[in-house]
Amino acid sequence: MTSTEGTPAADAYPRKILEYMEGFLISKTVFASCELGVFDVLLGAERPLSAEEISQAVGASLDGTQRLLAACTGLQLLNTQQDQGRVFYSNTEQASVYLTRSSPLSLFQSIQYNSRTIYLCWHYLTDAVREGRNQYEKAFGVSSKDLFEALYRSDEEMVKFMQLMNSIWNICGEDVITAFDLSPFKVICDLGGCSGALAKQCTSAYPECTVTIFDLPKVVRMSREHFVSEADQRISFHQGDFFKDPLPEADLYILARILHDWTDERCIELLSRIYKACNPGGAVLLVEALLHEDGSGPLTVQLYSLNMLVQTEGRERTAAQYAALLAAAGFTNIQHHLTGKIYDAVLGHKEM
């Protein structure tokens, strides 16, 4: 045991505590800059712009824009250069790649979802911890009895969530899909496949496979309208509720960011249904953010687990905890692979 008594006076300034206390200021600065279109304007201009030019382009006050640009410069999201006493701004490479709407790797939609949905739910974190349940009712005035009825409470909200998934898998999808060699599995079913972004990663990495996206009817409708085109010939859809309706037979089932939404009991219920439908010699791939086995980190995943409390019925888990859920449903030869990014992969097999 270590003691913190007698801490030197030099450590008395609570720098880290102050950073934590004011961390939301950084998030909201990024959110506001994206919502106003600051990074899009700078990308489109193809030259550095003054604060006056940017404020006019985004329809904001000059004073407010100057302060916002200064903060973004301090956050190393913008570069500045001086010319005849005037300051001109341009995007950093990271801002152009991840914060502009038109970039293939854009996180813009993810940022919008964090700003307009998750941020509002986190206003009730204290209540979530006290009560041990999600806070959709307080945040949005909708019942959270049916988790995905609350999550998809309007078409607009559903599209926002699907765009969030799209942006995440554009960055992390290839890593989780290639964490194991999935080429032996020709018939793949992506349960809760949402926008189809991970299905596209599958068909790209494994040219001989076909992927069926299984999701709720309204999600399938939105995916067809906005995300998956007829050009994606090896991707098909199957409408249903994976807790209630028959699952298509497949060699491999993918559950990407699904089990973390649910209690252990519900996870085993779903995995048991998958085991029953799975072809002999098949497998299930879990894509989740994994906690260290002792629960000591990563910090991002610890925070995600709090988010699961605020938003869902579930939690983030360790590889061993996911392995126990898989084993309880009958899967064997369970392995996990850390990608070094946000999401990792766990693979469980069904014997021949």
> Which residues have a catalytic role annotated?
260
Report pLDDT for 154. Answer: 78
Per DSSP, which regions of 143-205 are E strands?
187-191
State how far the Cα of 134 lies from the Cα of 262, in Å rounded to an integer.
12
Taking CA atoms, 4 is separated from 8, 18, 19, 20, 214, in Å, by 10, 19, 21, 20, 53
Report pLDDT for 348. Answer: 98
pLDDT digits (tens, 9 = 90+) for 262-298: 999 999 999 999 999 999 999 999 999 999 999 999 9
Report pLDDT for 43. Answer: 98
Residue type for 62, please?
Answer: L
Query: Do the beta carbons of residue 287 and residue 345 sit within 8 Å?
Result: yes
The pairing of beta strand 78-83 with beta strand 86-91: antiparallel
Is 172-350 the same fold as 17-103? Answer: no
Report the predicted TM-score, pTM, of the whole model to 2 decimal places: 0.89
3.40.50.620, 3.40.140.10, 1.10.1060.10, 3.40.50.150: CATH of 172-350: 3.40.50.150
pLDDT digits (tens, 9 = 90+) for 92-114: 999 999 999 999 999 998 999 89
pLDDT digits (tens, 9 = 90+) for 185-202: 999 999 999 899 999 999
Q: How many CA atoms does the CB half-sphere of 36 hold within 13 Å?
A: 22
pLDDT digits (tens, 9 = 90+) for 116-162: 889 999 999 999 999 999 998 898 887 766 666 666 777 777 888 88
Q: Map out the domains of the chain as residue ranges.
A: 17-103, 172-350
Indicate the Cα dihedral angle 217, 166, 107, 158, nearest 10°. 0
Residue 115 CB burial class (10 angstroms; 0-12, 13-18, ≥19): middle
- Report residue 55 as tokens: 């404020």
Report the mean per-residue pLDDT for the chain: 92
State how far the Cα of 321 lies from the Cα of 291, in Å rounded to an integer.
10
State how far the Cα of 151 lies from the Cα of 289, in Å rounded to an integer.
20
| Fold held by 17-103 | Arc Repressor Mutant, subunit A (1.10.10)
- Report residue 331 as tokens: 């899967």
In this structure, is the dihedral angle defined by the CA atoms of residues 18, 22, 26 and 29, taken in order, positive or negative? negative
Question: Is pLDDT at 6 greater than 70 in this prediction?
Answer: no
Question: Is pLDDT at 2 greater than 90 in this prediction?
Answer: no
- Report residue 249 as tokens: 């037979």
